[in-house]
């Protein structure tokens, strides 16, 4: 087995499912912690069943790359204000579980970790969503990976016809407002989930040292750089 194995958290989600598909196409072996067994698992993947996201009890061989595609499903208005119960759920998943996942990846030898965050996040923000996202970024940076890739996309497009009405509305509004996002505002542009997943795989495997942030322009540029010239 190649020493370039990956550990992917969130392999059944919107972006994670695209990432594992891309890694399979590249013949990269993937360990995928999941809560229940999945059908049609890729040939180059191994699922690891976990209960209550207790990572202390599982054994994962040495890996090189880690991907964190975890996150709480939120409605549009919850980005601004969450109920107390939703706050607890959000902090549990988007801070505690993500941080534990990063620690597990580091203990398994991962050199590079890539995390999906969000545009505008900042530790200490009055907005609970932005604060938690910013805090977990800082904690992961402090773990000491050789390379940390933080993806900060705007609205994610491509979730399909079965999306909630607020997601469909955000899709519609983004198609209009994206045309007016220039200069420093371009980072707020929406981006297709397939583009984000592909950029995530490309940049993770480039293994660029240090802390690297990817907004809309950087994500698109990484895709352009990977396109063969005629």
Rounded distance, CA 229 to CA 99, Å? 39
- Residues 6+ positions from 30 with CB-CB distance below 8 Å: 5, 6, 7, 8, 11, 20, 23, 24, 42, 44, 45, 46
> What is the average per-residue pLDDT within 122-128?
95
Cα–Cα nearest to 72, from 24, 133, 149: 133
Average pLDDT over residues 7-35: 93
d(CA 102, CA 112): 10
Buried/exposed 73-93: b ≥16 CB within 10 Å, e otherwise: eeeeebeeebeeeeeeebbeb
- Rounded Cα distance, 95 and 108, in Å: 20
Which of 17-31, 41-55, 188-202 comes out lowest in average pLDDT?
Answer: 41-55
Other CB atoms within 10 A of residue 151 CB: 25
Give the three-state DSSP class for 141: helix
- Helix, strand, coil proportions of the chain in percent (round to 5)? 45, 15, 40
Alpha-carbon span 141 to 4, nearest angstrom: 21
User: Which percentage of the chain shows pLDDT scores above 90?
Assistant: 80
User: What is the mean pLDDT of the segment spanning 181-190?
Assistant: 94
Q: Inform me whether the pLDDT recorded for 145 exceeds 80.
A: yes
DSSP 8-state secondary structure symbol assigned to residue 41: -
Listing from the earlier edge strand, what are the strands of the sheet with 210-214? Answer: 45-49, 30-34, 6-9, 65-68, 112-116, 147-151, 210-214
pLDDT digits (tens, 9 = 90+) for 73-104: 999 999 999 999 999 999 999 999 999 999 99
Section 36-50 average pLDDT: 80
The mean per-residue pLDDT over the stretch 139-167 comes to: 93
pLDDT of the residue at 1: 46
Encoding tokens for residue 119?
């545009």
Q: What is the pLDDT of residues 214-228, one digit of tens each?
A: 999 999 999 998 876
pLDDT at 230 over 60: no
At residue 29, the pLDDT reads 94
The pLDDT value recorded for residue 228 is 60
Task: pLDDT band for 211, please (50, 70, 90 cuts).
Answer: very high
Q: Where are the domains of the chain?
A: 6-224
Q: Tell me the C-alpha distance between 92 and 30, whole Å.
A: 25
Instruction: Identify the CATH class of 6-224.
Output: alpha beta
Q: In whole angstroms, what is the distance from residue 194 CA to residue 14 CA?
A: 9
Question: Is residue 129 pLDDT above 70, yes or no?
Answer: yes
In the prediction, which pLDDT does 111 show?
Answer: 96
């Amino acid at each position: 087995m190649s020493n370039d194995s990956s550990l992917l958290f969130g392999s059944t989600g919107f972006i994670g499912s695209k990432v594992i598909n891309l890694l399979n196409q590249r013949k990269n072996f993937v360990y995928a912690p999941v809560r229940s067994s999945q059908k049609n698992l890729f040939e180059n993947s191994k699922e690891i069943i976990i209960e209550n996201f207790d990572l202390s009890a599982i054994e994962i061989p040495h890996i090189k790359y880690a991907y964190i595609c975890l996150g709480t499903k939120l409605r549009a208005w919850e980005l601004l204000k969450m109920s107390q119960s939703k706050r607890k759920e959000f902090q549990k998943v988007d801070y505690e579980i993500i941080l534990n996942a990063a620690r597990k990846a580091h203990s398994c030898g991962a050199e590079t970790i890539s995390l999906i965050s969000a545009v505008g996040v900042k530790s200490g923000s009055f907005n609970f969503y932005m604060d938690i996202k910013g805090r977990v970024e800082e904690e992961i940076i402090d773990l000491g990976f050789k390379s940390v890739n933080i993806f900060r996309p705007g609205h994610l497009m491509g979730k399909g016809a079965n999306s909630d009405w607020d997601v469909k509305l955000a899709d519609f509004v983004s198609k209009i407002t994206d045309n007016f996002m220039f200069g420093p505002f371009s980072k707020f542009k929406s981006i297709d989930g397939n583009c984000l997943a592909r950029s995530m795989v490309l940049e993770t495997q480039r293994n660029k040292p240090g802390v690297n942030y990817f907004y809309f322009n950087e994500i698109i540029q990484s895709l352009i750089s990977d396109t063969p010239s005629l």
